[in-house]
Amino acid sequence: PKESTIKEIEPKVLAKPVAFAEPPADAKSPFSVLVPAKTQEMASRIKQEEKDVLANKRAHGEGKAEEIREKLQSLNLPAALEAREGKGGIPESILSRVAAIQAKGGMEHIDNMLKQVLAAQDKAWELFNATKGSLEQELRDDEKLKNDFGGRWTRAPSKELTVDFSGQLSNVEGYLKRAARADEKLSNKRKKEAESMELVLLPKTTLEQKVPQVSVEAKEPETPEATELKTDLAKLNQIIEARGKIIDLAEKKLEEQEVETLLLQDEQKGVSIEESKTTLVSQFDPYFEKLNKVDKLQQDILDAIDAKNEAWKKSVSSNPKMAARSAFFGQLNSGVEAHESLATNLVQGLRFYGDVMSEYLNPLRQQVRDFVVAREHEKKMYMDQITRAIATQTGTDAKKPQGPPGGGGGGLDG
C-alpha cells in the first residue's frame, strides 16, 4: 500500500497504573509462615517415626492373618465343612475365587510379581551398598589424612559428622533384612503350594469332574456345631478385613497431620519437642486400641476352634468318600488361599520397595553424595593451607643466619 494510506499508529496504554495500597496494620508478615529449617527437620523425623510405627503395625497384622490361615489349614477348614454341603459340586464361594484368580493370570501373574519383587530387592540393596560404601570410603580417607598430617589436620572428623547418616543406614538395613526374609517366605510358599496352585487353574468342568461324589443318602443336614463353626470362620475373615481398614484409617490420619504447625505453636507456648511428639503420637492411640481388641478377639476364637472342630466332627457320621471329598476341597482351598495371599503380599512388597527407594535410599544417597563432594572440596582447601604453611616454614628456616664451619667464633688472632 501507499505510504499515504497507512494510518498513523496511535499510542495505547498497555498497563493500567494503580495506586500503591499500604498493607493493613494487622496484616501478618509473609515471613511468619516460613518454617525454620530446624523445625522442618524435626517434623520430618517425627513423621518418619510415625510412619515406621504404622508399617510395623501393618506387618504385625499380616503376621496375625497368616496365623489364621495356618491354623485353619491345619484343621482342613473350611474345606471339611464345604465337603458336607448339600450340593454335589464345588461351592460357588470357591468357584468365584477360582474365577478371579484365573482372570488375573494365575501362576504367571504370581511369578511375574515375584520376579519384580526380587528385582526391586536387588536394586534396593545395590543402592544401599553403594551409599554405605561411599560413606565408609570417606571415613577411611579422613582417618588416613589425620594420621598423615597429625596436628596439622584440624578439620572436624568425618566420624562425628556422619552419625545421622550411619543411623539412617542402620535403620534402612534393618528394613531391607526384614523384607528379604519375608520375600524368602513367599518364594518358599510358591514352591510348597505349587501343586495345589496348579489345581486352581483347571477349567471349571475339569474341577467338577475331580470332586469325589457321595450318594444323596450320605449327605447330612447342617448340625448346630457346623453352624457355630461357620460363624467363627466368618468372624475370622472379618477380623482380617477389619485390621487392614484400621491401618488404612491410621495412615490417612498421618497424612492429615500438620506436624510443622503443631511444633511451631508448641514452641511459642514453651512446650518441649518431646511433649509435642507425645501429643502427635497419641493421636494414633484410638486406632491401636482397636487393633489390640481385634487381636484379642482373634486369639479367643483360635483358642476355642480346636474344641469346636472336634465337637463338629463327632456330630457327623464317618464316611470314607466324604473324607476323600473333604481332602479334595482342602487341596483346592489351599491353592486358592496361596494364590490370594501371595498376590496380596507381593503387591505390598512392591509398594514397600517403592517407598524405601523414594523416601529413604534415594534421598540418603543424594545427601551422602553431597556430603562427600563437600568434604572433598574442604580437603583440597585444607591441603592447600598445609602446603603453604610447610612452604613458608621451609623458606623461613632457609633464611636463618648460620655460623662458620666448625661452629667456632669469628674473632681475629691477636
Per residue in 165-186, pLDDT (tens digit) is 999 999 999 999 999 999 999 9
Whether residue 149 contacts residue 386, with contact meaning beta carbons closer than 8 Å, is answered with: yes
The answer for residues whose C-beta is within 8 angstroms of residue 249's C-beta and 6 or more apart is: 287
Judge contact between 63 and 301, C-beta under 8 A. Answer: no
Q: Which of 53, 35, 49 is nearest to 263 (CA)?
A: 35
Residue 3: count of CB within 10 angstroms of its CB: 5
Nearest to 348 by CA among 184, 197, 185, 179: 179
Q: How confident is the model at residue 391 (pLDDT cuts 50, 70, 90)?
A: confident
pTM above 0.75, yes or no: no
Query: Mean of the pLDDT values across residues 328-353?
Result: 92
The mean pLDDT value of the chain amounts to 86
Q: In this predicted model, which residue has the larger pLDDT, 321 or 281?
A: 281
**What is the grid cell recorded at 230?**
461357620
**pLDDT above 80: residue 388:** yes
* Cα dihedral: 233, 237, 240, 242 (round 10): -120
Q: What pLDDT shows up at residue 84?
A: 78
When pLDDT is cut at 50, 70 and 90, the band that residue 23 belongs to is low
Q: Is the pLDDT of residue 31 over 50?
A: no
* CA pair distance 354, 370, nearest whole angstrom: 23
197, 160 contact by CB (below 8 A)? no
Is it the case that residue 116 has pLDDT exceeding 70?
A: yes
Instruction: Average the pLDDT over 111-138 and give the result.
Output: 97
Return the pLDDT at 32. 47
Is the pLDDT at 392 greater than 50, yes or no?
yes
pLDDT > 60? residue 20: no
What are the angstrom distances between the C-alpha of 311 and each of 110, 308, 314?
38, 5, 5
**Per-residue confidence (pLDDT) for residue 390, from 0 to 100:** 82
Task: Give the lowest-confidence range in 2-11, 108-117, 267-276.
Answer: 2-11
